[in-house]
Amino acid sequence: MTEETRHFCSNRNIDIICMGRVAVDLYAEQVHSPLEDAQSFRKYLGGCAGNTAVGTARLGLKSAMFSCVGSDDMGVYLRKTLENEGVDTSLLRNTPEHLTALVLLGVNPPERFPLIFYRENCADMQINPDDADPEIFKNAKALLITGTGLSTPEMRVATKQAVKVAKNSGCAVILDIDYRPVLWGLAEAGDGETRFVASEEVTREIQPFLSELDLIVGTEEEVQICAGKSGDDGEETLQSCLTSIRKGSSATVVLKRGADGCEVYSRDSDTPISARSFQIEVLNVLGAGDAFMSGFLRGWLRNESLKTCALYGNACGALVVTRHGCSPAAPSFAEIEYFIRDFDDVPDLVHHPKMEQLHLRTELGQPQKQELLILAYDHRTQFEDSCRENGLSLDSISRFKELVYEGFQKVYRTMEEYGCAVLIDPEYGETILKNSADTDYVIGVPIEKAGAFPLSWLKEDSLYQQLLERPPTWFVKVLWRFHPQMNPEDKDAQLTQLRKLNEVCNALKRKLMVELIIPEGFTETGKSLGETMAEVYETGIYPFWWKITALDTKKEWLTMTAILDQYDPDVGLIILGKNAPIEQFKTWFRVARSTPHTCGFAIGRSIFWEPWEQFAEGLKTDSEVSSMIAERYQQVIDIWQNL
């Protein structure tokens, strides 16, 4: 076997420009159900080029999306999603005259995966030849084009120009054949599931591009359409397809073989290179090819051996077929490393809590990379007790919380980039939450019934339904009392409830913040906090953040964080205030920030309780109260930032 030699300009910041289809996928949530019987759908970014842009970005490459989206809300969603994934959108143009494409998809394994394309004159088919900006291409290593981009005359012209600019800029050019007969008008409009229809026209449109290609990737049927071989009689062989392709191209050809992995035919050899495959139970094949391409490119663009490229591609494809959706199912490089290393040793690895935790972090981001400076006023029982003591109506609580919110806004408007956030309850803060649809700051909302032990929920109905009805950007906070030396019945009740909540948050992709409170009568030390966290991790629960009491000494802090380093070194720690004087935070923050785990604070009563007491006694006007809140919140932020 001869290993190909690849030369990429090392000083280029973009690894891959992904040109073509990017759309909104609406995936049926009812698995094993015909698409016509689906009752609800989950919205994801989709489209061959879009999936690959996200997939390569998650694997550590710098990808760019070259396409168009509508100016409609779905186009806004796609752009935001790409940018949140770290994809460069400099080549993603808005087109106000065209709607963003939609695709309806069903999941009915093992063999039925229906899909319907709604893309009549859609946004991503509006790429113009002059959209291929040479200055951006000169900063890229490779251009990916797809077969769908060749299915209309206008897109063929745009793709031809993009390839020309790429070659002139020193970019490699890659073709994902991505043959969808329905998009070429070769199947009924609603038949997106058919993957192969022999067509001389399709072959005729693809083949002029072959001489410009460095890499071609496709299934056996797609290689046939590329080569102009029908595959109808048994005498047609893969070798004849390769021979036909090589008459016009010196590209490396990758043949995807599904569960059997792939075969890679380098330009210098007819002997295929392969890597191990991963036999796995399939939930959903849609998007597996895009994931394979992403994994292969992670190796190919980093000049790894073709065997390693194939291994990465096989691993990515195998992981994605076990998950719901296309782009959200794409793994990170940490995931595929773990998957490859432990696949043979851990039974049902893809559903192991550690694997699920790794992927949830891939989707939601790394906690420590998001600083949260939270003004926490989700308190309820403290306000209610105070109202009873002072003879106030409970309506005063809602009014006061609106003033707290006004104080928060005064600070937020001056420092939007600093991670300002609020934690507010849906009981007395209902009006505030209802008016928060278009906010850019982070919002957290508790799920627990105030003061309840054992843990119980705000509402008695379905926990899943409660969280489903909340915006997905809100994080979930739960106040959870626990200590390893509690009586067994209380421990079991608390762990059972936390496990239920964790499972729902994982299913709905919600960030979970566990506010860990050591009950009265038990010591609160670095050791007791660490032991509690260890017990939680041993049950397979991985919070996104822990919200914990600060500790007075670095020794105690390191005792606790050593447990995190063992179980979940990337988890975030948020420091709570316990109504301590604001000056105390100088010591606490200094200790907490001595390790990388700490990524913010959630301070409440230390900021708002004195203003509340003066509000309750009628000593301050509304304006004065909101100003006091702003001043004290800013004071805590200044302490945090000046350490």
Q: Is the dihedral of CA 628, 634, 636, 639 positive or negative?
A: negative
503 located within any domain: no
**pLDDT at position 213:** 97
What gap in Å lies between CA 103 and CA 119, rounded to an integer? Answer: 8
pLDDT in tens, 588-612: 999 999 999 999 999 999 999 999 9
What gap in Å lies between CA 253 and CA 265, rounded to an integer? Answer: 5
**pLDDT at position 235:** 43
Q: Where are the beta strands (DSSP E) in 257-383?
A: 262-265, 372-377
User: Is there a single domain that holds both residue 214 and residue 79?
Assistant: yes
What gap in Å lies between CA 511 and CA 516, rounded to an integer? Answer: 16
455 located within any domain: no
User: Is there a single domain that holds both residue 598 and residue 529?
Assistant: yes
486-491 average pLDDT score: 95
pLDDT in tens, 282-328: 999 999 999 999 999 999 999 999 999 999 999 999 999 999 999 99
Cα-based distances in Å from 224 to 199, 245, 329, 556: 10, 9, 29, 65
Alpha helices in 179-305 (DSSP H): 200-206, 220-227, 238-246, 288-300
452 located within any domain: no
What predicted TM-score, i.e. pTM, was given to this entire model? 0.93
Query: Which domain range does residue 122 map to?
Result: 14-362
- Confirm if 428 and 380 have CB atoms less than 8 A apart: yes
User: Is there a single domain that holds both residue 329 and residue 388?
Assistant: no
Q: Of 314, 341, 362, which marks where a domain is finished?
A: 362
| CATH of residue 270 | 3.40.1190.20
Residue 87 binned pLDDT confidence (cut-offs 50, 70, 90)? very high
User: Is there a single domain that holds both residue 179 and residue 66?
Assistant: yes
Helices and strands, counts by H and E, the chain? 21, 20
What gap in Å lies between CA 369 and CA 375, rounded to an integer? Answer: 19
Query: How many domains is the chain built from?
Result: 2
User: Is there a single domain that holds both residue 425 and residue 329?
Assistant: no
What gap in Å lies between CA 356 and CA 335, rounded to an integer? Answer: 9
Q: Of 362, 384, 416, which marks where a domain is finished?
A: 362
Torsion of CA 10, 12, 13, 17, to 10 degrees: -110
Residue 234 binned pLDDT confidence (cut-offs 50, 70, 90)? very low
Cα-based distances in Å from 633 to 238, 377, 399, 409, 608: 68, 12, 19, 11, 9
Model confidence at 403: pLDDT above 60:
yes
End-to-end CA distance of the chain: 58
486 located within any domain: no
Q: Of 311, 336, 362, which marks where a domain is finished?
A: 362
1 located within any domain: no
Write the DSSP assignment of 2-33 as a string of letters: --------TT-SEEEEEES--EEEEEESSTTS
- Confirm if 212 and 173 have CB atoms less than 8 A apart: yes
Facing residues of 475 across strands?
444
